[in-house]
């Protein structure tokens, strides 16, 4: 039998809660629709992927017997799987190469655009093109550029004297396929870095450079002791953002190689997707997704640390 509820029972919490709601009602009315939408399409899936990662959930078996709880078995299997470790290694290699090259290229282009030479305006619009093209469109375009027989890249390389490259199949060898995708990713992401850095460069007072020049500082010293220290925070943030973007890159790799040849460019994103939608092992794929999530969280925590430092 349930005891009838009395008003006194509610005294402890209800008024405080209700008062808060009344006080901030208007604020919540503005914010809640979006928060509910985000909760439904992000929080719930996140919760559910963790649950599924502890289950045996095979898409074909699910029709007959439903998921069964199997504890950490999916994780144990993954950690014993050499394919996973290979994929993790490739992912780290791919991400690191993309980030380092993107930041260096972005910084170089930003420094170039910061010089006042006739034509810098044209150039600053031109560099936006790689960024504007849809990821899938530019991946398809680069696949055509990399074409072994009629691709323009091999033609240009033979013109430059690399006769051996005349019909080299870039996407058919593991190491060159990985680098081919790295180049596409860097090509697409350097404009963002360059534009961000250029904005920061232009806010550095010219007097700093003039003073340094009077003191006889060489261009290299001006870069090393004035520009880079002033850009340090932004460079840090951009590095972390790039790391996260390149870690989750999927489209370019999928269009260019589909993880091939023979699984040679199977980065974690594609490895997870294949487990879920090619082998239909949803439980195992969910565990992989959770592992990816933990890796991204580690990077994000680092990002938040920088973000909070800048807020203060």
CB of 75 to another protein, least distance (A): 15
What's the rounded Cα separation, in Å, for the pair 143 and 150?
Answer: 11
Q: Which segment (47-55, 70-78, 81-89, 168-176) binds another protein by CB under 8 A?
A: 47-55
Pick the stretch among 4-12, 72-80, 96-104, 191-199 that binds another protein (CB under 8 A).
191-199
Per CB under 8 A, the list member of 132, 221, 224, 305 interacting with another protein is: 132
Residue 117 has phi, psi (to 5 degrees) of -120, 150
Q: How far is the CB of 4 from another protein (least distance, A)?
A: 32
Residue 168 as a binder of another protein (CB under 8 A): the answer is no
Let me know: does 141 contact 133? Beta carbons within 8 Å. yes
Examine residue 13 and tell whether it contacts another protein (CB under 8 A): no
Of 92, 94, 104, 109, the residue nearest 239 (C-alpha): 104
The least CB distance from residue 128 to another protein, in Å, is: 7
Residue 106 touches another protein, criterion: CB under 8 A: no
Task: Assess 28 for contact with another protein (CB under 8 A).
Answer: yes
The tokens of 9 are what?
Answer: 């029972």
17 binds another protein, rule: CB under 8 A: no
Report, in Å, the least distance between residue 69 CB and another protein. Answer: 16
Looking at residues 76 to 105 of the shown chain, list those that interact with another protein (rule: CB under 8 A): none
Binding status of residue 199 toward another protein by CB under 8 A? yes
Residue 9 CB burial class (10 angstroms; 0-12, 13-18, ≥19): exposed
Q: What values do phi and psi take at 89, rounded to 5?
A: -60, -50
Question: Which residues are within 8 A (CB) of 191 and not within 5 positions of it... i.e. 6 or more apart?
Answer: 106, 109, 127, 128, 129, 130, 131
Q: For residue 57, which phi and psi values (nearest 5 degrees)?
A: -135, 85
CA–CA dist 86, 268 (Å, integer)? 9
As measured in angstroms, the least distance from the Cβ of 140 to another protein is 5
* Site for another protein contains 205 (CB under 8 A): yes
* Number of Cα atoms under 13 Å in the Cβ half of residue 98: 29
The single residue among 12, 71, 119, 216 that binds another protein, judged by CB under 8 A, is 119
Spatial CA neighbour of 248 closest among 296, 179, 178: 296
The HSE-up count of residue 194 (CA atoms within 13 Å, CB side) is: 27
Which helix (H) or strand (E) element contains residue 49?
Answer: helix 44-53
Residue closer to another protein by CB (options 13, 30) is 30
Give the range of 2-10, 74-82, 168-176, 199-207 binding another protein by CB under 8 A. 199-207
Q: Which residue in the set 201, 231, 253, 266 belongs to the binding site for another protein (CB under 8 A)?
A: 201
Residues 145-164 that bind another protein (CB under 8 A): 145, 147, 149-150, 152, 155
Residues 232-291 that bind another protein (CB under 8 A): 237, 241, 244-245, 247-248, 250-251, 254-255, 269, 272-273, 276-277, 282, 285-286, 289-290
Binding segment (CB under 8 A) for another protein, from list 8-16, 23-31, 94-102, 171-179: 23-31
DSSP 67-86: -EE-TTHHHHHHHH-HHHHH
């Amino acid at each position: 039998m349930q005891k009838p509820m009395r008003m006194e029972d509610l005294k402890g919490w209800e008024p405080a809660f209700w008062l808060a709601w009344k006080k901030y009602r208007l604020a919540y009315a503005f914010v809640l629709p979006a928060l509910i939408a985000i909760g439904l399409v992000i929080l719930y899936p996140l919760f559910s992927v963790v649950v599924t990662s502890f289950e045996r959930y095979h898409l074909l078996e699910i029709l007959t017997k439903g998921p069964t709880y199997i504890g950490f078995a999916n994780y144990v299997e993954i950690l014993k799987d050499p394919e996973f470790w290979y994929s993790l290694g490739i992912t780290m290699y791919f991400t690191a190469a993309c980030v380092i090259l993107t930041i260096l290229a972005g910084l170089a282009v930003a420094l170039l655009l910061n010089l006042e030479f006739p034509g810098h305006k044209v150039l600053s619009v031109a560099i936006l093109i790689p960024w504007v093209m849809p990821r899938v469109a530019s991946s398809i375009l680069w696949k055509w550029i990399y074409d072994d027989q009629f691709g323009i890249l091999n033609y240009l390389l033979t013109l430059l004297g690399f006769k051996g490259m005349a019909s080299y199949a870039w996407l058919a060898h593991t190491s060159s396929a990985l680098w081919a995708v790295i180049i596409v990713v860097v090509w697409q992401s350097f404009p963002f870095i360059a534009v961000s850095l250029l904005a920061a460069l232009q806010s550095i007072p010219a007097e700093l450079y003039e003073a340094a020049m009077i003191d006889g500082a060489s261009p290299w010293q001006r870069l090393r002791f004035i520009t880079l220290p002033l850009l340090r925070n932004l460079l840090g943030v951009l590095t972390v953002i790039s790391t996260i973007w390149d870690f989750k890159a999927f489209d370019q790799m999928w269009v260019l190689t589909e993880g091939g040849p023979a699984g040679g460019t199977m980065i974690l994103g594609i490895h997870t997707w294949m487990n879920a939608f090619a082998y239909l092992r949803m439980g195992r794929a969910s565990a992989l997704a959770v592992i990816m999530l933990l890796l991204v969280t580690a990077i994000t925590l680092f990002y938040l640390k920088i973000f909070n430092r800048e807020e203060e």
